[in-house]
Structure 1
C-alpha cells in the first residue's frame, strides 16, 4: 500500500501487538497480498480510529469534529444508522475475505451486506461502538475501509472479468493495484476539491464504464505493439452529467503515473472549492473548455521530473505475480457434459445463455452470480449466501470471487464440466437467477430507505419492476436491457447511463420518478434523455412496460434496445408514453 510516492508519515513504526507480521496463510492466488508495511499501516489506522470513536462516544469530540475522521475511515451517518463502506480493491475477494465479510455482517450488523456499483460492500446497521472491532476483523484478512469516502481518490474499479476474459489486452488488476499504492494517502491528493473516481478496462469492450469516471483508462497497444492506455478525463453523473473526453489516445505504460499525476495536479490547483456542486473535475473541464484543460495538463506533464515517475517494469512484474493465472487444467474447448446439461434442463440453458461469458482458457467459463432475484433488493447478499458462495468458489473457481459494478458476483474460472453443478447449488441458495444483463438485473441505490440525501425510494421500484417482468422467458425474449435507478440527483444508481434510467424526485412532498431513455455505459457511451413529465410509484412501472412494448413492436430482428432507440429516435417512445404532441 505504501510502496510508491508516499509521504514519510505513511511509513509506520512497530506494528501493534495484534498485527500479524505475515500474510494469512489461506489467502488465495489472484488476490494481492499485503506485505508487513501494508499490514502495520492498516492496523495502526484501526488503533487510531478506535481512539477517535472512544473520544466521540465520551463527548470529547463533537459530531462536526468527528465527521471528517469517520469519513476517512468509510463511516457514514445515514438516515437511520451509521453505515460502514468496505473497500474491495478492483472488486476481487479471496474466499477467506468473503467469509470474513459474512461473519462481520452476522456478528455486528443484521446478517447481510450490500454490494455497490463501486465494487465495495456496505453494512447499513452497525453501531458506532462496534466499528473499530469490524475494522480490526477486516484488517486481519488484509481489508479496510480507508478512502472509501472523503475528497480523495476512491477505490479504483475494473472490469469484473479481469484476468479471465478472452478479449482482454492487459489484466487491469495489476494497474489498479499500482494506482491503489500510488494514491493511498498521497501527500497532494488526500484533500482534493471533491471525491475522485478512476476506472480501468483491460479491453476496448469496456465493462468498467470508464467514460462516467473522473479518469477512465482503456488498455490499448500502439502501432509498435507497446502496451499503454487511452486516457479519458472529466466524466461523471450527478446533477451535471458529462461523459469523459479523450485526454490522450495512447499513454505508454511507463508514463501512466506521470500523466495521471499531471491531471490530478491541474485539478487540485484549479478545481473549485467554493461550491460543492461545482467541485468535480467534470465541471473544471467544462468551464475551462476541453482544449484549455488539456493544454494545462500537458504543460504540467512537461514540468514533471518524468524519470522519477516512470513505472519500473520490475515493479509491474512483481505485482503481476500476485495475479498469476491459477493452475488451469488442459481441457478440450467444448464440454460434452455442459452441452448435455443444457439440452436436458431448460432452466440451466437459460442461465448459460445470460450468465456465462467466454474464458480465455479452453474448457472454462466465467459465471455471473446474480444478486437480483425476482422481488429481491439489488446487490444484497445474506451472510449465509456469502458463506455459500465462498464454498462454491473454493470448489469450482480456485477460491476467488469478483464483485461487479453491476452489483453482482462473479466466479471467474469455472470448468464447463462443473457449470451445471454450480448452477444447481446457486439455485438452492436463491442466487441462480438467469437474468444477467436482462430487465430484472437492475442497478439501484439504497434510496430513501437508507440514505439521508435521497428524495425518493429506489428499492421498492426495482422490486416492483422485477416482479412485473418476473417471467424469465419474457425477459429472454426482450433481451439485453439495463435499468438503473437513483433515489436522488447524486446518481448513485447510474440512471444517466441506463438503457432505461429512473430518477426519483420530490415534488411537493410526493415521490415522483423521471424516465430517461437511451443511456449506455459501454463502448458506445451515451447519456439518457429525459422522456417527459415524471410518474408516481405505480405509474413508473407501467411506463417501463410501455417502453418495452414499444421497443418490441419497433425493433428489427436481433436488434438490442440501444440499437433500436438510436435507429428510430426517442419520438415513438415519447408518443407511446404521453400521446401525440
Structure 2
C-alpha cells in the first residue's frame, strides 16, 4: 500500500493543527454554526441524529495492521466501542464529541490516515475492487491508478467547490464490474490496447440516490499518459455546466442526461484538447514510483496443499466456509479470505474496538499485515497461504467473522438508517436483523445461492438498494416508516437499476414480503438458477402476484 512521503505527513499534520484552531474558535463562540459547517465538512465531520459522525478515509479500502490498532484505540477512547464499515470502503465513527475530533485526527495522522474530503462537494474516496492486485482475471493491478487519482484530486483547488459531491471508481476486471463503475460519477475501466499498452475506458454520469442512473462511455480509449487530463476535462465540463441552484439536480448524472452523452463527450473532448500534453501528462517515472508502493509480498513457495485437502475432507463447517468465503488467488498456494461482518444479531458492517485489534493480529500472522474494506461492508485478507486457512478459520469463528454467508441472502448491506442518520426516513438495522433471523438456516440460504439484499434508510442510497437483487428503501408517509421494494438490480457483471415492485409496506410487513419473494423464486427457478437469472427470465409479474395477490 502507499506509504506517505515526508511531504504527505507534513501536510496531514498541518491540516490537523489548522482544524484544531478552527474547532477551538468555534467552541469559544468566535465562529458561527454556518462558518464552522464548511470547515468541519472538509474534515469529514457531520452532525447526525443523536451525535456527530466522523467519516475516516480508507483509500481503495486498504488498511495496515498499525492502522487497525489505531482505529481500535480511537473507537474505544473517543466513541462507544464500535465503528462502521461503509459501502465506500471507509470507516465511520458514530458518537465522537466535536471537541475530541482534532485529537482523533492527530492520532489518525500518526498512522497515515485522515478524514480529508470524506464529505462536502468535492472528490471523495477513490474506490476499487477489494481483491485488486490478487485476482487471477484482472488486466493489471488498478490500485496504482487509484493512488495517482487520489493524489491528483486531494486539495486540488479546481475541485474544492463542485456543484455536488463526486465519486470515482476504478475497475480492472474485463468481464465483471466488482468496483461498480457503472453507477459512479466517473468510472474508469483499465484496458489494454492492441499493442498491449495500458489505457482506460472512461464512463461518466452514473449514480444512485434520488435519480439513479447508469453512466455512459465518454472516453472509449484514453492512453495512460493522459488519464488525469481526461478526468480533469470531465470535471471542467461539470464545473462549468453543472446545476448549482438545486442540489437535487446538481450531480453530474443530471448534466449528462440533460446534454446527452454525445454533447457531453463533445464538450469533454474540447476541454481535453487544451489539457492534453500539458502539466498533467503522466510520466513513466511517476507511474513507476507509485507502482513500487504496491509490490507483491514475500509469498512462500513451500505451501502445503495436502494439509488443506485433509482439513476440507474432515471438517464440514470449514469446507463450507472455504467455498463461500475464500477466493481464487493469482499466486499458487494462496487464497483471499473475506471476514463477514454479518453475523445474525449484529449490525451489518459494525466492528468493535477489540475486534479491530484482533483482526490486526490476524493480519500480521496470516496476511502480511494488511486487510481491505469491501463495498459489501465486510473485510478481506487478500494473501493467506492455503496451509494457514484452517487455523485462520478457527480464529475468525471465535471472533464472529466466519459466518459462511458471503454473497448469500443474509449477507445484507445496510446503511445505519434512522437509528443514527439525521437524513434517514426509516430504520435499516431492524429490517436487516429481522430478515437475517427469519432466514437463519445456513442450509436453506446456501441452497438459494447468490442473492444480494441492500437496504437504505432514505433516497441518498448509502445502502445501494438500487443495485441489490432485492432492494429495500425506507420512505416516510405522514411521519410513519414504510419500505419500498425493488427487484432486479445488480452491480456485478453489469450495473442495472432495480424495478419498483409496487406500493410500499409497513415495517412489520417487510420480512413476510421478502419471504414471499423468496418462495416465488424457489417455485419458479430452474435447477441451480440464481435469483437474478430467474428474475431476468420471468420478470416482475409472478413476484407481484405472490406479494400483492
TM-score in terms of structure 2 length? 0.99
1:328 equivalent to 2:307? Answer no
Q: What's 2:58 paired with? A: 88
Matched residue count: 548
**Aligned 1:23-62 pairs, distance under 5 A:** 31-62=1-32
**Aligned 1:288-437 pairs, distance under 5 A:** 288-331=259-302, 335-437=305-407
Q: What's 2:190 paired with? A: 219
Structure 2 distance, partners of 1:314, 1:301, is 23
- Find 2:431's aligned residue among 452, 461, 478: 461
Q: CA deviation at 1:70?
A: 0.1
Dislocated runs of 4+, deviation >3 Å: none
Q: CA deviation at 1:384?
A: 0.7
Structure 2 distance, partners of 1:151, 1:331, is 50
**Aligned 1:85-484 pairs, distance under 5 A:** 85-204=55-174, 205-331=176-302, 335-484=305-454
Structure 2 distance, partners of 1:426, 1:495, is 28
Structure 2 distance, partners of 1:527, 1:397, is 36
Structure 1 distance, partners of 2:334, 2:462, is 34
Structure 2 distance, partners of 1:184, 1:429, is 36
Q: CA deviation at 1:231?
A: 1.0
The C-alpha deviation readout for 1:199-236, integer Å capped at 9, x for no partner, is 01121222111111000112111222111122111000
Structure 2 distance, partners of 1:445, 1:158, is 20
Q: What's 1:69 paired with? A: 39
SS for the counterpart of 2:157 is coil
The C-alpha deviation readout for 1:217-274, integer Å capped at 9, x for no partner, is 1211122211112211100011100001111232121111111011000001100100
Q: Is the 8 A contact 2:139 2:173 kept in 1?
A: yes
The C-alpha deviation readout for 1:27-63, integer Å capped at 9, x for no partner, is xxxx211111111110000001101111111111111
Q: CA deviation at 1:151?
A: 0.5
Q: Is the 8 A contact 1:169 1:220 kept in 2?
A: yes
TM-score in terms of structure 1 length? 0.93
Structure 2 distance, partners of 1:310, 1:378, is 42
Q: CA deviation at 1:306?
A: 2.3
Q: CA deviation at 1:67?
A: 0.4
Q: Is the 8 A contact 1:486 1:504 kept in 2?
A: yes
- Find 1:502's aligned residue among 450, 464, 472: 472
Structure 2 distance, partners of 1:229, 1:159, is 16
Structure 1 distance, partners of 2:20, 2:133, is 37
Q: CA deviation at 1:72?
A: 0.2
SS for the counterpart of 2:495 is coil
Structure 1 distance, partners of 2:505, 2:368, is 47
Structure 2 distance, partners of 1:330, 1:336, is 14
Q: Is the 8 A contact 2:501 2:544 kept in 1?
A: yes
Q: CA deviation at 1:305?
A: 4.1
Q: Is the 8 A contact 2:182 2:494 kept in 1?
A: no
Please report the RMSD computed on the Cα atoms of aligned residues, expressed in angstroms. 1.0
SS for the counterpart of 1:401 is strand
Q: Is the 8 A contact 1:331 1:362 kept in 2?
A: no
SS for the counterpart of 2:330 is coil
Structure 1 distance, partners of 2:20, 2:125, is 23
- Farther off after superposition, 288-297 or 408-417: 288-297
Q: CA deviation at 1:331?
A: 4.3
Q: CA deviation at 1:324?
A: 0.3
SS for the counterpart of 1:294 is helix
Q: Is the 8 A contact 1:511 1:536 kept in 2?
A: yes
Q: CA deviation at 1:456?
A: 0.2
SS for the counterpart of 1:249 is strand
SS for the counterpart of 1:306 is coil
Q: Is the 8 A contact 2:219 2:265 kept in 1?
A: no
Q: CA deviation at 1:558?
A: 2.1
Structure 1 distance, partners of 2:172, 2:111, is 27
Q: Which runs of 5+ in 1 are unaligned?
A: 1-30
- Find 1:559's aligned residue among 529, 532, 537: 529
Q: Which runs of 5+ in 2 are unaligned?
A: none
Structure 2 distance, partners of 1:174, 1:473, is 41
Structure 2 distance, partners of 1:307, 1:455, is 47
- Farther off after superposition, 307-316 or 138-147: 307-316
Structure 2 distance, partners of 1:147, 1:368, is 28
